[in-house]
Amino acid sequence: MESNKETFSTDLQLIGMSCVNCAAKIEKALNEVPDVKASVNFATEKAHVEFDPHAITPEILIKTIQGLGYQAFEVNSEIDAQKVKEIAAAEYRRDLHHFVISAILTMPLLLEMFFMFTRDHQEFIPRWVQFALATPVQFWIGWRFYLGSYHALKARSANMDVLVALGTTMAYVLSAVVIIMNWHHQHLYFEASTAIITLVLLGKLMESRAKGKTSEAVEGLVRLQPKTALVERNGVWVETAITQVKLGDKVLVKNGEAIAVDGVVVEGSSSVDESMLTGESLPVEKTQGSHVYAATLNQQGSLQIKATSVGAKTQLAQIIKIVTTAQGSKAPIQRLADRISSVFVPVVVLISVITFFATWFFLRDLQAAFVASVSVLVIACPCALGLATPTAVVVGIGKAARMGILFKDAKALELGEKVNMVVLDKTGTITEGKPVVTEIHGVSAISELEVLTLAASLEHGSSHPLAHAITMGAKDKGSVLKEVQNFNVVGGHGVEGLIEGVQYKLGRPDWVAGGGFLDKELITRLESQGQTVMVLATDERILGYVAVADRIRESSKKAIADLYDLGVQVMMVTGDNEGTAKEIAKQAGIREYKSGVRPADKASLIVTMKRQKKFVAMVGDGINDAPALAMADVSFSMSSGTDIAIETADITLMSNDLASVVQAIHLSKATLRKIRQNLFFAFFYNVLGIPLAAFGMLNPVIAGAAMALSSVSVVSNSLLLKRSK
């Protein structure tokens, strides 16, 4: 798709897929539509589609899918999500109903097989009764497999339906021919055809329940969203549907209630539990002017809030959208499984045909050849292979979201495992990002208040955390800021501007002084204490020094130690001077650091590390560090308030805590470990099962049971990620 074209994206719920080959077929068909880029996830049964809205509509996409024999509809809202649940529940009830009927009709045939082995091969149930029991199972309960096979073959592909339909039909037709031809000494295989269909249905039921549990994390977030809110209408608090709340409305949140919107506190004070967003268990104090977020829990007191974001614009709604999109994305490790699945069914059919003729040729036993051939068809289901990666991805990303860690996509989840070098920004990452003015020194007759006032006037136009510290310090002192003209930010150095006709500079000592006289003893003392020193000067002389300090987060030291324990190297990069950087690194337990690094140079530093064969993760605030975040192999962004740097970073940490970086790497490793276990099991199952079936060592009924349980075991193994710590 051309980059200059306008693109739109939507999610389509898919109905009727039986295995990963169905997903591959739908994905291929959608991508063949001009101006469309699609990804289909078999585990979530969704298609994420990007397209040119001027050339393509969702209706065209849905018709494309319907032409393949499947159903689809858009799912981009809570109403759509509820519709998905209702359809899934209806399908589950239908499948359960069919399974019960199929099991009841199959049970006598299995008993017949049992008695055949215990009563000298004497038939217990008359053959015409066996025929009557097997026929509705084969053509009514099993009709779905014929329909699926028809659409698959029509699209010149093959899926699990083809294998099941072919295997059970062979068993049924041979048995029917034996009855019609009255071959008394030939065994019937009705129990095989009916048992296979019954077991496949049982496997699908178990798989559906297990797959449903993989998305519990997102469903839990959705359930957190309040349905109503108390809104002020004409001076009266009225309970209003959340869909009717508008920007600027005043909302009342009572003690113990969930906050319904994102907003700013205009009256009241309380502590709010934000663990559902950040993963942090400690409540956060909220007073007038504080930001609050939808679905967080007001623990005490009452709050009046002015709504700043509602509905789909709230932070929770954005998180749900991000997590859902990430869960539907494909991890690079899945490519191998996709390639194998695309040719798997035709190869299995070929092996089945070869098995039939080879067994018949060498053993001269038509019955043995038939049994072996059917067993090959039945045991070789590609579902386990197709579920191995996406189920683990869905569970892993969902668990991360509940911990306040947002993975942008499955690729980010996979790459997190490979990190062996973490580069940390200092301010707001290792430190709290809330520096304060600690010392002010005026030169000659200039007072400390005058130095602070001039410095704050210059910094008033800057968004840097140090600038905020200075302006807040001046505000606390009651300073009246002066008007600044020709304001200019010199990246990595400082700021300058014209105040009352005089040109002033405020910034790094070496930049401001330009080789002039500096009180180096004072600067050295302040920097050795971990303080950042800024110098105020005119073109003619130095006026004063402003020292600002930022405290290290309590959790940073332990998180950095944990990274070292994981075998990950850690480096701090900062624009601060050598003295301050050295002291902060010492306090945080960081062995390697670089000082005096401008934002633009951080990206070059990361490129250098990558050339040294290091897999680099950059952790920053996602704004000033954007170039470095973009160049890193994996980027972590610390969120700050409502400004989540999702577009820049691969992974967003809602808690602003380095411990989340450790958790993200741990979870990435755990998820990839599960994926490899699943892939090994799926490959091992088929590598072992197909030869056993081909050599006549598996009864078709046992093969059917093994096939049904293989998918369930893969999904169940992925669900164990929920217990990962």
Q: Give the residue numbers annotated as catalytic, written as ranges.
A: 425
Strands in 532-538's sheet, in edge-to-edge order, are: 436-442, 542-549, 532-538, 502-507, 494-499, 485-490
The whole-angstrom separation of Cα 389 and Cα 681 is 12
Strands in 46-51's sheet, in edge-to-edge order, are: 36-41, 46-51, 8-15, 71-74
Paired residues of 651 in beta bridges: 407, 636
Angle, CA 436 vertex, CA 430 and CA 441 arms, to 5°? 125
Quote the tokens at residue 233. 């209408």
Would you give the distance in Å from CA 281 to the centre of its chain?
22
DSSP assignments along 485-522, one per residue? EEEEEETTTEEEEEETTEEEEEE-HHHHHTT----HHH
Cβ atoms of residues 296 and 279 within 8 Å:
no
Residue 228: which H helix or E strand, with range? strand 228-233
CA dihedral 239, 242, 245, 247 (to 10 degrees): 140
Q: Strand, helix or coil at 614?
A: coil
The whole-angstrom separation of Cα 316 and Cα 277 is 7
Q: What single-letter DSSP state applies at residue 537?
A: E
SS3 sequence, 53-95? CCCCCHHHHHHHHHCCCCEEEECCCHHHHHHHHHHHHHHHHHH
Among positive and negative, which fits the CA dihedral 306, 310, 315, 316?
positive
Rounded to the nearest 10 degrees, the angle between the axes of helix 383-402 and helix 659-694 is 170
Residues contacting residue 458 through CB under 8 Å, at least 6 positions apart: 484, 487, 495, 496, 497, 499, 504, 506, 536
132 HSE (CA, 13 A, CB side)? 5
**Count of residues for the chain?**
725
Residue of 549, 560, 616 lying closest to 586 (CA atoms): 560
Strands 250-253 and 228-233: antiparallel
Strands 569-573 and 592-594: parallel
Looking at residue 508, its amino acid is R
Looking at residue 355, its amino acid is T
Quote the tokens at residue 365. 């036993």
Residue of 368, 421, 426, 725 lying closest to 575 (CA atoms): 426
Quote the tokens at residue 259. 């906050």
How many other C-beta atoms lie within 10 A of the C-beta of residue 485?
10
Paired residues of 285 in beta bridges: 271
Among positive and negative, which fits the CA dihedral 202, 203, 206, 211?
negative
Q: Which residue blocks in 436-577 are alpha helix, DSSP H? A: 448-459, 465-476, 509-513, 520-528, 556-565
The whole-angstrom separation of Cα 378 and Cα 380 is 6
> Phi and psi at residue 6, in whole multiples of 5°?
-70, 135
Give the gyration radius of the chain's Cα atoms: 33
> Phi and psi at residue 332, in whole multiples of 5°?
-55, -30
Residue of 446, 435, 603 lying closest to 533 (CA atoms): 435
